[in-house]
Amino acid sequence: MPKDIIQQLDCIFKPKSIAVIGASNAPGKWGHRMVNNPLNTGYRGAIYPVNPTEKTVLGLPAYASVKDIPGAVDMAVMVAPAQYVPQAMRDCAAKGIKGVVMITAGFAEVGAEGKKLQDEVVQIARQGGIRFVGPNGMGMFSSAADLSLSFDVAPRKGKIAFISQSGTFGGMLASMANAKGYGLSKFVSIGNQADLTAGDYLEYLAEDPDTGAIVFYMEGFKDGRRFFETARQVVKQKPIIVYKSGRTEAATRATMSHTSSIAGSDVVFEAMCKQAGIIRSYETGQMFDMAEALVSMPLPKGNRVAIIGSGGQGVTISDNCELLGLKVPEFDEATKLELKKSLPSHAPVPSNPVDFAGGTRTADDEAKVADALAQIPYIDAVITNMPSYRGWGGNAAAARASIEGAELVAAIPKKYGKPVITLRWRGPTGDIAQDIVRAAHIPAYDTPEQVARAMYALATYARIREERNGG
Q: What is the pLDDT of residue 365?
A: 87
- Residue 145: inside a domain, yes or no? no
Query: Which is more confidently placed, 468 or 259?
Result: 468
Residues 116 and 208 in one domain: no
Q: pTM for the complete prediction? A: 0.92
- Residue 146: inside a domain, yes or no? no
Cβ atoms of 96 and 87 within 8 Å: the answer is no
Q: What is the pLDDT of residue 246?
A: 73
Q: Total domain count for the chain?
A: 3
Q: What is the pLDDT of residue 334?
A: 97
Across all residues in the chain, what is the average pLDDT? 92
C-alpha pair distances (Å), 179 with each of 76, 78, 155, 218, 451: 30, 29, 9, 22, 17
Residues 70 and 191 in one domain: no
- Residue 199: inside a domain, yes or no? yes
Four-point Cα dihedral 305, 311, 312, 316, nearest 10? 10
Average pLDDT of the segment spanning 62-85? 97
Cβ atoms of 14 and 145 within 8 Å: the answer is yes
* 297-307 pLDDT, tens digit each: 999 999 999 99
CATH code, domain carrying 290: 3.40.50.261
* 111-140 pLDDT, tens digit each: 999 999 999 999 999 999 999 999 999 999
CA gap 381, 365 in Å, rounded: 19
Residues 194 and 274 in one domain: yes
CA gap 119, 321 in Å, rounded: 49
Residues 189 and 286 in one domain: yes
Domain that holds residue 40: 1-137
Residues 93 and 208 in one domain: no
Antiparallel, parallel or unpaired: β 184-189 and 140-142: antiparallel
Residues 181 and 302 in one domain: no
Residues 312 and 402 in one domain: yes
CATH code, domain carrying 4: 3.40.50.720
- Residue 194: inside a domain, yes or no? yes
Instruction: For residue 204, give the nearest of 469, 465, 8, 18 by alpha carbon.
Output: 8
Q: Could you write out the DSSP letters of every residue in 65-91? A: SGGG-SS--SEEEE-S-GGGHHHHHHH
Write the burial class of residue 287 (CB in 10 Å: 0-12 exposed, 13-18 middle, 19+ buried): buried
Residues 226 and 339 in one domain: no
3 pLDDT higher than 60: no
* 134-162 pLDDT, tens digit each: 999 999 999 999 999 999 999 999 999 99
- Domain-ending residue, one of 270, 296, 322: 296
- Residue 260: inside a domain, yes or no? yes
Residues 3 and 133 in one domain: yes
Q: What is the pLDDT of residue 258?
A: 43
- Residue 3: inside a domain, yes or no? yes
* 408-435 pLDDT, tens digit each: 999 999 999 999 999 987 654 557 888 8
- Residue 302: inside a domain, yes or no? yes
Residues 377 and 287 in one domain: no
Residues 264 and 352 in one domain: no
Q: What is the pLDDT of residue 256?
A: 47
* 323-379 pLDDT, tens digit each: 999 999 999 999 999 999 999 888 899 999 999 887 656 668 899 999 999 999 999
- Residue 147: inside a domain, yes or no? no
Lowest-confidence segment of 117-121, 210-214, 262-266, 271-275 by average pLDDT = 262-266
Residues 278 and 302 in one domain: no
